[in-house]
Structure 1
Amino acid sequence: MEYENQYQHVPAAKYEWLLFDVDDTLYPLSSGLSKACTNNIEEFMIQKLGIEGNKVSEINRVLYKNYGTSMAGLRAVGYNFDYDEYHSFVHGRLPYENLKPDPVLRSLLLSLPIRKVIFSNGDKVHVAKVLRKLGLEDCFERVISFETLNPTNGSNTSDDEHSFQLRGLSTEILDATNFPCQSALPETPIICKPFENAFGQAFKIANINPQKTLFFDDSIRNIQTGKQIGLHTVLVGTSHRTNGADYALESIHNIREALPELWESDTKKSEGIRYSGKVAIRTSVMA
């Protein structure tokens, strides 16, 4: 009797985790939330931090460019403020009414036989509101938000001399084009995308293996960092694939057409171990 090649194991699924950004990823840029968020940030800079109104747009642009979020940039250059107050001012006044339930996306997510995790720079209240408005609050295993990576609230201590010196940096100095490398920038105490430490913490918290993970985000910088540290990447919001993006989707709704293999893992799991080859004795298998 020959039992050689009697059992043939099904290869492990390519993806075991799906990691999703929220803003401008699970809903389109056309919703207007991104523009409103930028306006609120600039108002916060004027009203709460005393930055001159004619400079806020450029300063905000430069800080966002170099730090991933305006908030991280403001803290890096010496501004102290309460994180909860910032989020309340910036996100609390967004036009959430522009977001409507998305039954198509909900159906797609619930049909995916893979673990799904949210990974957002937004605060937990904001993320919860967005998911609730879209009708997606029960579609994800867990949410990694600003508070997950930054459990301590912002500093309310008085400004020190170093903070004032940092504030004196001009936008020209802050512009990354004048730095030989990103590490020359003043460090921020905030952990957020697109920095590698944010991804590393997210992987640890959610027990994620980046080599087995597909990452969806609208930010090219976030996608590029993700690719560098081993993630498979999907750029959302454009059909043009850029450096660092394995796939590009005009809309998150195109996920099934672009990545049909995500649903194939369910079939592989149900098959378990396939039986093949010559057998001399009839057997039964219970699963």
Structure 2
Amino acid sequence: MNRVPDPQSFAVLKEHVRQAEEKGFDHVDTWVFDLDNTLYPASSRLFDQIDAKITAYIANRQGIDGLSARALQKYYYRRYGTTLKGLMSEDWLDPDDFLAFVHDIDHSVLAPAPALAEGIARLPGRRFVLTNGSRRHAESTIARLGVAHLFDDVFDIAASGFVPKPEAAAYDLFLKLHGVAPARAAMFEDLGKNLVVPHALGMRTVLVVPAEGEPDALDRLTALDDASPAAHVDHMTDDLAGFLAALAIVAR
């Protein structure tokens, strides 16, 4: 039995369709999703657990207090793109040990997301997760969301040789491994800087931002230190499931 949407929901869906049609998706046959704070909302605070574990790892490794560890963590992030790459570059870190520690978190804070699953299921073609995290973390996350069966593969930081987004080499390795034509692909991300290379390659780009009242909205809206989304962001949404529902209408 088909459900009839209420007028407000229909109006929201109509607006999503209008946005999706502005820079169309009818040519797209490969759908690429970032993981953290993209496939799940920032309000779940799942990534906050990872962030805190990264700080703890640095504090334990360096024998320093939490505030100093936090400062060093952010220095690595700003200079190298990820804290992991900074630790590998300057401290000869074993990445497997780091990833095992920081992703040993409580994934049960995530709830199944049936609307998200329905939206992903209707996308034509292949679907991938492209993350700077580990495969184990990605698989645990998408399993909790109830969408694991909808993805063809997970491309994690190990698969990229520990080269993180936004470096071009990370995307190149992903595209070559899976035979993805960027001109026929779309990328969904919560960080604008990670959409610069995909857009330059010809991918349709979507910036997923927190809904009003969710944390870190400013961080996710900025791209390469700009105060607002730039030309490399084709679309922006604070409702991924709703946006994908619209794509089911226009991308077929």
The TM-score bracket by the shorter chain reads 0.7 to 0.9
Aligned to 1:149: 160
Aligned to 1:57: 70
Aligned to 2:57: 44
Aligned to 2:235: 247
Q: Whole-Å Cα distance in 1 between the matches of residues 160 and 64 of structure 2?
A: 28
Counterpart of 2:33 (choices 14, 20, 30) is 20
Moved more, 25-34 or 222-231: 222-231
Q: Whole-Å Cα distance in 1 between the matches of residues 114 and 57 of structure 2?
A: 35
Aligned to 1:194: 166
Counterpart of 2:88 (choices 75, 82, 89) is 75
CA contact (8 A) 1:119 1:145 kept: yes
The answer as to 2:129 corresponding to 1:129 is no
SS of the residue aligned with 1:138?
Answer: helix
CA contact (8 A) 1:49 1:79 kept: no
Offset at residue 83 of structure 1 (A): 1.7
CA contact (8 A) 2:30 2:125 kept: yes
SS of the residue aligned with 1:147?
Answer: coil
Q: Whole-Å Cα distance in 1 between the matches of residues 156 and 31 of structure 2?
A: 16
Aligned to 1:212: 184
Q: Whole-Å Cα distance in 2 between the matches of residues 226 and 206 of structure 1?
A: 15
Bigger Rg, which one:
1
CA contact (8 A) 1:68 1:192 kept: yes
Aligned to 2:3: none
Offset at residue 32 of structure 1 (A): 0.8
Decide which structure has greater helix share.
2
Offset at residue 132 of structure 1 (A): 0.7
Please report the RMSD computed on the Cα atoms of aligned residues, expressed in angstroms.
Answer: 2.0
Q: Number of residues paired by the alignment?
A: 212
Aligned to 1:117: 128
Moved more, 83-92 or 57-66: 57-66
5+ residue gaps, structure 1? 1-11, 151-189, 267-287
**Sequence identity percentage:** 25
In the superposition, relative to structure 1, how do residues 65 and 254 fare at CA in structure 2: closer, same or farther (>3 Å)?
Answer: farther
5+ residue gaps, structure 2? 1-24, 212-220, 222-227
1:230-269 mapped onto 2 (5 Å cutoff): 230-238=202-210, 242-243=229-230, 244-256=232-244, 259-260=246-247, 263-266=249-252
In the superposition, relative to structure 1, how do residues 121 and 245 fare at CA in structure 2: closer, same or farther (>3 Å)?
Answer: same
What is the CA deviation profile of residues 217-250 of structure 1, one whole-angstrom value per residue up to 9, with x for unaligned ones? 1011101232223221100025877112100010
CA contact (8 A) 1:96 1:130 kept: yes
CA contact (8 A) 1:21 1:216 kept: yes
Q: Whole-Å Cα distance in 1 between the matches of residues 45 and 101 of structure 2?
A: 17
